[in-house]
């Protein structure tokens, strides 16, 4: 009963862990951003869930209705969605630029290229 009653919170937790796992485990920059988006979306669902008042209807004034759901978290999450979109857009833009600069969107590949640059630099210094 407890489990079923709180099922949306369980979905939040599961989505959150899936998102975080993708960010940590995947080396592909686009997949990382997808993971980040899933992670953020789980928080949106969480906010929507806490706004629900048992027996309350949509928060629009109407005769004969005395109990409304809480509209504030909805408003908050609208702002957070905007922030999330800005983050995703910026992350994807960076991924495009990274692809142009490194020719790859794999974390491992980019790090190899960076290490290569470092080695060359120290060789140059010895050359001097």
Partner 1 sequence: MLAHLPIFQVIIPLMAAPLCLFLRHSRLVWLFSVIVSGLALSISIILLQQVMSSGIIIYEMGGWNAPWGIEYRIDKFSAFMQLIITSVSTTILLSAQTSIEKEITEDKHTLFYILYLLSLTGMLGIVSTGDVFNAFVFLEISSLSAYALIALGRDRRALWAAYQYLIMGTIGATFILIAIGLMYQMTGTLNMNDLSRRLPEVAQTRTVFTAFTFVIVGLCLKLALFPLHHWLPNAYAFAPSIVTAFFAATATKVAIYLLIRFTFSVFGLSFAFTTLPLQILFVVLGLLGIFVASTAAIYQKNVKQLFAYSSLAQVGYMIVGLSISTVSGLTATLLHLFNHALMKSALFLALGAVMYRIGSVQLSQFQGLGRQMPLTMAAIVVGGLSLIGVPLTVGFVSKWYLIMALIENGWWPVTVLILLGSVLAIVYVWRIVEIAYFKPPLPAVNQDRELIKEAPLSFLVPIWVLVMANIYFGIDTRLSVQVAEAAAQSLFGVSP
Q: Which of residues 21-60 bind partner 1 (CB under 8 A)?
A: 23, 29, 32, 36, 39-40, 43, 46-47, 50
> What is the closest distance, in whole angstroms, from the C-beta atom of residue 60 to partner 1 in the complex?
19
Decide whether 64 or 127 has the Cβ nearer to partner 1: 127
Q: Cβ(98)–Cβ(113) under 8 Å?
A: no
**Under the rule (CB under 8 A), what is the footprint of partner 1?**
20, 23, 29, 32, 36, 39-40, 43, 46-47, 50, 72-73, 76, 79-80, 83, 86-87, 90-91, 94-95, 97-98, 101-102, 110, 114, 117, 121-122, 125, 128
């Amino acid at each position: 009963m407890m489990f079923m009653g709180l099922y949306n919170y369980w979905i939040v937790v599961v989505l959150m862990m899936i998102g975080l796992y993708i960010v940590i485990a995947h080396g592909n920059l686009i997949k990382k951003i997808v993971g980040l988006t899933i992670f953020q979306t789980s928080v949106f669902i969480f906010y929507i869930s806490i706004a629900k008042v048992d027996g309350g209807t949509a928060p629009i004034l109407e005769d004969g209705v005395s109990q409304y759901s809480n509209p504030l978290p909805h408003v908050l999450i609208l702002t957070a969605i905007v922030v999330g979109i800005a983050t995703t857009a910026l992350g994807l833009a960076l991924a495009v630029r990274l692809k142009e600069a490194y020719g790859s969107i794999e974390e491992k590949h980019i790090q190899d290229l960076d290490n290569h640059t470092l080695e060359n630099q120290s060789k140059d210094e010895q050359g001097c």
